[in-house]
Amino acid sequence: MTSDNRTETRREIWDHRYAARVHPAEPALVLTEALHLLPRAGDALDAACGVGGNALKLAEIGLRTSAWDLSPVAIERVRTEAKWRGLGVDARVRDIVADPPSPRSFDVVCVAYFLDRTLAAALAAALRPDGLLLYQTFSREAVTDRGPSNPEFRLVPNELLRLFPGLIVRAYRDEGCTGDTCRGTRDIAFLIAQASR
Ligand SMILES: C[S@@+](CC[C@H](N)C(=O)[O-])C[C@H]1O[C@@H](n2cnc3c(N)ncnc32)[C@H](O)[C@@H]1O
């Protein structure tokens, strides 16, 4: 299968999922935990945005927000929801692996539940000086079966730290299966990291 075919198949799978189910547009924990760290103005990107829970939150707090996803169905949802909430979100169908953000183009880059390791360097480079990366996705050390079953799409311990070595770590959470697994932030890891000035 060519990479174009793989992309098309992935797009169809996500379109189908978004058409079949109404996903609530909720911001990820990594974003709600970072609200006090965000700049008051600037450009933000929700990469692989799905129905745009993070994009809508970023726009709500006053950032000029772009939302990119492979799925036209998801992007249509973001546009409709943004309009309904009276928010300006520049939502576009875009393959972020084939067409990653330009260097130094965003003050905030948010990625939730999407993992393509080949994109990490481009995401870090997309940050302007002082810019913040907010990254959250599923980890292999999990206490439920939420998320992808293919371990390739899940993080190993400390992997986010290794994927973004040039950034300053502001917060990192990766609780694995340690301690009382009925409590805490499980199944995911998140990183809040900053580009240097
Ligand atoms: C698990 S969903 C996460 C959506 C959203 N970030 C969230 O937290 O709800 C993964 C998303 O990645 C998108 N995606 C997959 N490959 C992509 C690519 N190459 N470029 C852009 N989006 C992609 C899918 O269309 C899907 O919306």
| This prediction's pTM | 0.97
pLDDT of residue 25: 82
CA angle 47, 132, 162 (to 5 degrees): 80
Question: Ligand 1 pocket: which residues have CB below 6 Å?
Answer: 10, 14, 28, 48-50, 53, 68-71, 74, 95-97, 112-114
What average pLDDT does range 125-141 have in this prediction? 98
**Residue whose CA lies nearest to ligand 1 atom number 16:** 70
- 98 with 69: CB under 8 angstroms? no
- Written as six digits, the tokens of 83 are 């309009």
Task: Domain 3-194: give its CATH superfamily.
Answer: Vaccinia Virus protein VP39 (3.40.50.150)
Q: Which of 17, 22, 68, 69 to mutate to test the pocket of ligand 1 (most atoms within 8 A of CB)?
A: 69
Does 107 score more than 90 pLDDT?
A: yes
- Quote the DSSP letter at residue 156: P
Which residues are 173's β-sheet partners? 190
